[in-house]
Amino acid sequence: MSGTRLNKYIASSGLCSRRKADELIENGQVMVNGKIIRELGYLVMGQDKVFVDKQMIRPAKHEYYRFYKPAGYITTCDDEKGRKTIYDLLPENLAGLKPVGRLDKDSTGLLILTNDGDLINELTHPSVKVPKVYMVTVNAQVKKSELENMANGIEIEAGKTAYADIQVLEIDSKHTEMQITLYQGMNRQIRKMFEHFGYEVKVLKRIQHATLNLDGLKRGEFKPIKPAQIRDLKNFLNRINND
């Protein structure tokens, strides 16, 4: 008997990750053909009708895009304060895609957009150390000892230690330009790390996320990610998961 595991079926709709689908199933929020299903390994057959919170779902064709976020836009679908969001720059047919992680309003650079819930989870889950690379400029000359402290880890919030790999590209008394690689996903991590030492971040641009980068993109532009690039990305994630 062939079929698709229920959690995978839910994730393939773009609703959520497979881990979140497990929670929905265990909480009794999933019905198949009018019956609540709590069995994680339940197989969905071709004619079955699946509902999550009484809304019918269907597998969606997975889509993947790179987007070069400009400054002045927040990374969310909707904003209660009426601020501009990245979806103001995207066509309606991409409105159902979700960003992989976030960039704050003043930051620019690469965002991956997709409806592949499993991929979103793999790229953002704290247990997977996925590299994200940024170009960062601060408003003064950063001390070598402070860079070493950031590499070793500093507490930016109670109980939260942040660290970063930092390569200085240009430095003088008025600014320091760096390439910074993060393996964590803390909110405003880079800004908080430099604020800890009294610096102000003037430029923050993400140039790479895992194997994907900004090559060929202009600010505000988006392009589909090629199948070969997705294969490379998934192979990379498999490797770091197995290390």
- Tell me the catalytic residues: 104
Residue 137 to residues 70, 108, 142, Cα–Cα distance (Å): 16, 13, 10
Whole-number Å distance between alpha carbons of 152 and 166: 11
Q: Residues 204, 192: contact at Cβ < 8 Å? A: no
The SS3 assignment for 93 reads helix
For the chain, first and last CA: distance in Å?
35
The SS3 assignment for 3 reads coil
Q: Residues 151, 166: contact at Cβ < 8 Å? A: yes
Radius of gyration, CA atoms only, the chain:
20
The SS3 assignment for 6 reads helix
Whole-number Å distance between alpha carbons of 173 and 159: 33
Q: Residues 16, 7: contact at Cβ < 8 Å? A: no
Tokens of 189: 């991590």
Closest CA to 107 of 31, 205, 174: 205
Whole-number Å distance between alpha carbons of 127 and 122: 9
